[in-house]
Amino acid sequence: MAAATRIAAAPFKAPIAAPLVAALLLLGPSGSGRAQNSPVDGVPGAQPGSDAPAEEPAEEEVRPSGVRYDVEITGVEDDGLRGTLNDASTLVELKGDAPPSLIGLERRADSDRDRLQTALRSAGYYDARLDIRIEDPAATGTLPAGGEAPPVKVTVAVTPGPLYHIKTVTVRGTNGTTLPGELATEELGLAAGMPAVAQGVLDAETALVGRLAKRGYAFAKASDREVVVDHSDRTMDVAYTLNPGPLTRYGATRIEGLEKVDEDLVRGRLAWTEGQVYDPGATDRARQDIAALQVFDTVRVRMADEPGPDGVTPVIVTVGERKRRFIGGGLTFSTEDGLGTNAYWGHRNLFGGAEQLRVGVDVGRVAGSSGGSSSTGNDLPDLRFSVNFRKPDFLAVKQSLVVNFAVVNDQPPAYSRVASELTVKLERPLTEQLTVSYGVTSERGRVRTKDTTYQTAFIGVPLGAAWNGTDNLLNPTSGQRASLQVTPWFPVGGDTKSPFTSVRLNGSTYYDLGNDGRYVAAARVGLGSILGTSLTDIPPDHRFFAGGGGSVRGYGFQKAGPRDRYDDPVGGRSLFEIGAELRIKVTESIGVVPFVDAGTVYDSAYPDFSEPLRVGAGVGLRYYTDFGPLRVDVGVPLNPASGDARWQLYLSLGQAF
């Protein structure tokens, strides 16, 4: 005989396994529509209905250390179903919290009956039987030396029975009204012949309402859901009743919560025009685009609670502004370069248009050495003073004006440099993944090696493109990313006479081996080329170098490449780097990362592999935080050059790539 159950969704006040939520929403109380009422045998003292008078309850024997027990679920071969039952079982969940007495354990087992039956129905098993048995070794009267009772054995024997399947799926309008257009029921994850899984029924309902919303019916809802389980042929019929509401159009937009940010800036990020048919995708894009201004802690975009006349409905944008000023700092460390530190001050909304200003000071090579001979006359640490300014929506929505100015004094192993730099460029996203940039840069300075001093003065035209298809900027677990930077350089004085063009291409890929972020394989490749002149005519600070924490780990900074007669890195006109690592999460906050890197530079315009690749390997630790992973890597060179250190330690924020 078929049984029909109407669904009345109700909120839950305590955490409960997802399959139980689905089944309870779908099937209502455990007593209604039950395919098979479980017998009450299996719990000592519990008997089927009888005319005999009830016995007085036994006195509860409380054990000081509680009743320890082991629980086993038997009769289930499917790993997925076994996991569902384990998640639903109170006996399993509270195993570490021993009940005070055997009667307390019996109550816990009895409470599992409805939960496990509900979980079985959620998975499509409507004829399942349960037998819960409790065996207490202490009841035999034999206790081990010391008097501590061994664990009680709890066995949950499950007979799932046949799996029920979907027979029909019907969609209709409220009170027999016709739904707008042909509302397809394909690709809902619910079709004839599929297992009658409760979560699938709920997901299909959500998908149907979502399809109406995408057609402009912002107030669509499911007014009824009827499920009929037919035990004669072990099938389920599902009927949805939908109320689409009126076709909705965007009305006037009200913006709430603004303090110092210009309202026109926020309105410029709205992805619709007044009178346009409602589009949930446009509404969500507006929320993301407003949040991308980085001046708001919270952004909410929603339609008014009730539809307006003829469906024209007001839109409410609610924002909460962030603190306008901020300060920060950071540390880096490597065994060769020593300690590095930085400090900065910034303003997020300088003139009311979300203009960002940041002033920073970086100090490097504190208590470290450059590792090169060119800096012997300069005892100062690496210093960098920078000013960065960004104005969003400059001349066009989502186009940003970026101005960077810096004065630097640094002494890496290959050279010693004092210079000033100014860059003005525009950045514009073409798609959600692809961003392009273009501008002009100028620099003037002095670069010194042991043999030569270069006076430099250049105008450059940096052209860039960056594609990001990963799931997370600082800690990706899937997807790919790539970047291309092409910069023609034109000498405007100084010792360099010939223009040249620098090209740099980087790519990386990430694959989640377990689909849960615990085992992530990552790999990268980097290529570089300088075209237009010889190596000797290129100042060392414009050459390519390999080696260091962001390059070939296991080698010192710039030291995975050819050297001069002073054992200083020479640099090259071309670059080749590859790397791979396995990111293993040991806990939610701790990870271990074995890695291998390889790379070097060449005198030729393109990598010709005339120099041996320098290979390094090692292992790292990661501490995962809300603002990105803290990274500690230890690398060793596998084919070091003469004089290379036997190992390198790197400490920084963010993954290596």
pLDDT tens for residues 13-35? 333 445 444 554 554 433 333 23
Q: Determine the Cα–Cα distance for residues 484 and 473; give it in Å rounded to an integer.
A: 17
Cβ(596)–Cβ(581) below 8 Å: yes
Rounded Cα gap, residues 504 and 439, in angstroms: 17
Q: Give the per-residue pLDDT at 16.
A: 40
For residue 610, which phi and psi values (nearest 5 degrees)? -75, -20
pLDDT at res. 225: 93
For residue 368, name the pLDDT band (cuts at 50, 70, 90): low
Give the confidence band of 234 by pLDDT, cuts at 50, 70, 90.
very high
The proportion of the chain whose per-residue pLDDT surpasses 70, expressed as a percent, equals: 86
List pLDDT tens digits, range 149-208: 789 999 999 999 999 999 999 999 988 788 887 776 777 888 899 999 999 999 999 999
pLDDT at site 643: 86
CA distances from 562 to 142, 421, 531, 640 (A): 79, 28, 20, 11
CA distances from 436 to 178, 404, 429, 468, 570 (A): 48, 17, 6, 12, 32
Indicate if 416-653 has the same CATH topology as 249-321.
no
The per-residue pLDDT for 423 is 98
Residue 140 banded pLDDT, cuts 50, 70, 90: low
Q: What average pLDDT does the structure give for the chain? A: 87
pTM, 2 dp:
0.75
- Looking at per-residue pLDDT, the higher value among 378 and 250 belongs to 250
Q: Which two tokens stand for residue 347?
A: 């303003």
- Give domain limits for the chain: 2-45+64-159, 249-321, 416-653
Q: How confident is the model at residue 137 (pLDDT cuts 50, 70, 90)?
A: confident
| pLDDT value for 372 | 57
Residue 609: is its pLDDT beyond 90?
A: yes
For the ranges 63-72, 219-228, 388-397, 429-438, which has the lowest average pLDDT? 63-72
Instruction: Tell me the pLDDT tens digit for each residue of 499-516.
Output: 999 999 999 999 999 888
pLDDT score recorded for residue 4: 40
3-state DSSP assignment of residue 628: strand
Which residues, listed in sequence order, are joined to residue 632 by a DSSP beta bridge? 621, 651
pLDDT confidence of residue 497:
87
Predicted pLDDT at 369: 57
Question: Distance between CA 397 and CA 391 in Å, rounded?
Answer: 11
What architecture does CATH give domain 416-653? Beta Barrel (2.40)
Amino acid, res. 535: L
Q: Which fold is adopted by the domain 249-321?
A: Ubiquitin-like (UB roll) (3.10.20)
Out of 351-355, 481-485, 607-611, 650-654, pick the least confident.
Answer: 650-654
Instruction: Specify the range with the lowest mean pLDDT, choosing from 146-155, 224-233, 447-456.
Output: 146-155
pLDDT at residue 627, rounded to an integer: 80
Helix and strand element counts for the chain (H, E):
7, 27
| Residue-level pLDDT at 13 | 31
Q: What pLDDT shows up at residue 14?
A: 33
- Determine the length of the chain: 657
Per-residue CA distances from 26 to 4, 22, 30, 120, 401 (Å): 11, 6, 11, 13, 54
Rounded mean pLDDT, 554-560: 93
